[in-house]
Amino acid sequence: SQQGEEDPQALSIQEGENATMNCSYKTSINNLQWYRQNSGRGLVHLILIRSNEREKHSGRLRVTLDTSKKSSSLLITASRAADTASYFCATDQAGTALIFGKGTTLSVSS
Amino acid sequence: DADVTQTPRNRITKTGKRIMLECSQTKGHDRMYWYRQDPGLGLQLIYYSFDVKDINKGEISDGYSVSRQAQAKFSLSLESAIPNQTALYFCATSDRTAGMDTQYFGPGTRLTVL
């Protein structure tokens, strides 16, 4: 079974707006990662947040992690049409491979 | 990512045929993975290997087998392909630096089983 579950499944916004997507998971983790996938292509790593961190920034990306609620959120500020993609969270547990969620499909229209 | 290559990129085959998907990497990573992606189901882990002598089953290993021929090569085989194995297959690598596995993906192989 998949560890991470993203919400919403799909999100449509206008350019310039912020996009927020959430990830919930079931068991303890070492870290949580977010990946991006352009249509039909391989995933690309965006950002990693460790279990002892609460917030992390990278450019227009902001990730939060709440280990008590077993949840994370990815915020993309000032969205652009080029941000249109699917976004996946992945959880890292010791001794096993990353487990990916089902993803959120983001559509940014100009 | 050009450092992780997959061959073939597209393959159409018939039910019952044996198929091999190949993955090569020049990143020098010890860890390699095979995933399949179906629409709406995200990525599902098929097999993974943490080094040349280590092979582990993932969530959906039934109907698949793998071979880790060298640090740089990890092949996925479908011994007798069936239509519900039609999917997009990804290979990935990682190097557990500082206790963190950041994965690097290949471009994918689109497999159609008729």
**Through-space distance between the first and last CA atoms of chain B, rounded to whole angstroms:** 30
Q: Is B107 on the interface with A (CB under 8 A)?
A: yes
The distance of A101 to chain B (nearest Cα, Å) reads: 6
Mean pLDDT (whole number) for A70-93: 95
Assess contact for A85 and A36: CB atoms under 8 A.
yes
Read off the pLDDT of each residue in A65-75 and give the average, rounded to a whole number: 96
What are the Cα distances from residue A84, in Å, to A16, A108, A110, B11?
13, 5, 11, 27
Q: What is the pLDDT of residue A1?
A: 46
Q: Exposed, middle or buried by CB within 10 Å (0-12, 13-18, 19+), for B80?
A: exposed
Average model confidence (pLDDT) across chain B: 93
Cβ of A1 within 8 Å of Cβ of B59? The answer is: yes
Give the mutation candidate from B103, B104, B110, B111 for the A interface (greatest A CB count, under 10 A).
B103
Give the pLDDT of residue B98.
66
**What is the mean pLDDT of the segment spanning A13-39?**
94
> Environment class of residue B60 by beta-carbon count within 10 Å: exposed (0-12), middle (13-18) or buried (19+)?
middle
For A51, nearest residue in chain B (alpha carbons)? B100
Mean pLDDT score across all residues of chain A: 92
Q: How far apart are CA A87 and CA B63, in angstroms?
A: 28
* Cα of A39 to nearest chain B Cα, Å: 11
**pLDDT value, residue A93:** 82
